[in-house]
Amino acid sequence: VAGRVALPTGLEKSLTAQILHTYETRLFPSAESIEVKRAFIEKFATILVTEFPEWEVDIHVFGSSVNGLGTSRSDVDICLTTEHRELEDVFVLNKALRKHQMRTYCIPRARVPIVKIWDPELRIASDINVNNTIALHNTRMLQTFVAIDGRVRPFVMAVKHWTKCREINDAAFGGTLSSYAWVNLAIHFLQTRQPAILPVLHPPAPSLDADECRAAGEVDLSFNDDIAELREFGRANTESLGFLLYAFFRTYSYEFDYRHQVVSLRSGCYLTKAQKGWDSGRPARIFCIEEPFSTWLNLGHSANTVSVEGIRREFQRAFAILREGGSFDQVCEIYQRP
């Protein structure tokens, strides 16, 4: 098969078994953690009704607690929708939550302002935004990808697990990449296998020019979510989880051209920085991962030259461990600060 690099005999099967074992025993969320999340959402809803009895506020859960890619330890991402725009001021929500013994921290000046919550009683973290509904659509998109092929969920969760263990999954404070950026990278990798494991869900080109959309604040939200039609799209590809992870590490160690290429899940291929006009101007465009809906956004913007070099070294380290017959646990060994 084109592009197939050999993994030492016997190791591929063993690696697949190790990934599945980690997935089943450590990554797949426990029934208890799902119950805690449910209890938190109920408690949060009660606080809203108590504090804002006159206002109609809807609660939408998004992110990894509903897209199939969360663990027992994942936070709960919540989007509130309301016509009472006063609530878009995160300090209004913050004040209300504090009355109910929630520990909170506001990030008011982010692109999407949020209130971060830690509930000391249920021991759970949550990020709340108000009226920013775009993430509800990309959550549904990820749910669709997860439903198409049985390898997607364990593969993407294995990648997320590795990034968290190696401390390269912290866009806000670590200057690396967010979970969402990593998930885009992992899904795109499955789209670019020969034959592909995942399809392109979006229409061929944005039906509106990206700069025009940005100016108008308009985003084309359409994508193919017909799971019944798409299910088993990847059947012609028989690559194992172990091989896929090995090939993923190799791709971003030695094959991906960080200087010129852009990862585009929307297109299911690599674009060039020149094509997107990302080759000039701001020097921060080092690792380019196009947001599939808001195509003018680079999900890699949080990582600078030094951290992208660190990320690449992590890919090379992981690849070297597997090539030499090491285990998935070794790949995911907790990062020790020098």
Question: Binding of ligand 3AT at residue 180 (CB under 6 A)?
Answer: yes
Pairing of strands 269-272, 114-119: unpaired
CB 66 within 8 A of CB 60: no
Binding mask 133-172 for ligand 3AT (x = CB under 6 A): -xx--xx---------------------------------
Residue closest to 40 by CA, chosen among 151, 109, 128, 133:
128
- Contact segment (CB under 6 A) with ligand 3AT among 19-27, 69-77, 224-232, 250-258 equals 69-77
Q: How far is the CB of 163 from ligand 3AT (least distance, A)?
A: 9
Q: What DSSP line would sit under 138-194, residue for residue?
A: HHHHHHHHHHH-TTHHHHHHHHHHHHHHTT---TTTSSS--HHHHHHHHHHHHHTSS
Burial class (CB in 10 A: 0-12, 13-18, 19+), 319: buried
Question: Binding of ligand 3AT at residue 291 (CB under 6 A)?
Answer: yes
Residue closest to 249 by CA, chosen among 152, 181, 328, 320:
320
Looking at residue 298, the DSSP 8-state letter turns out to be: B
Distance from C-alpha of 234 to C-alpha of 245, rounded to nearest angstrom: 16
Which residues 107-136 are close enough to bind ligand 3AT by CB under 6 A? 134-135
Nearer of residues 77 and 239 to ligand 3AT, judged by Cβ? 77
Q: How far is the CB of 299 from ligand 3AT (least distance, A)?
A: 5
Candidates 16, 64, 104, 295: give the one binding ligand 3AT (CB under 6 A).
64
Residue closest to 107 by CA, chosen among 173, 59, 163:
173
Q: How far is the CB of 272 from ligand 3AT (least distance, A)?
A: 21
Give the binding-site size for ligand 3AT (rule: CB under 6 A): 19
Q: How far is the CB of 76 from ligand 3AT (least distance, A)?
A: 9
Q: Within 10 Å of residue 292's Cβ, how many Cβ atoms? A: 25
Q: How far is the CB of 94 from ligand 3AT (least distance, A)?
A: 19
Q: Which does 178 bind (CB under 5 to 8 A by kind): ligand 3AT, Mg ion, none?
A: ligand 3AT
In residues, how long is the chain? 338
Question: Binding of ligand 3AT at residue 302 (CB under 6 A)?
Answer: no
Site of interaction with ligand 3AT (CB under 6 A): 62-64, 69-70, 74-75, 77, 134-135, 138-139, 178-180, 183, 291, 297, 299
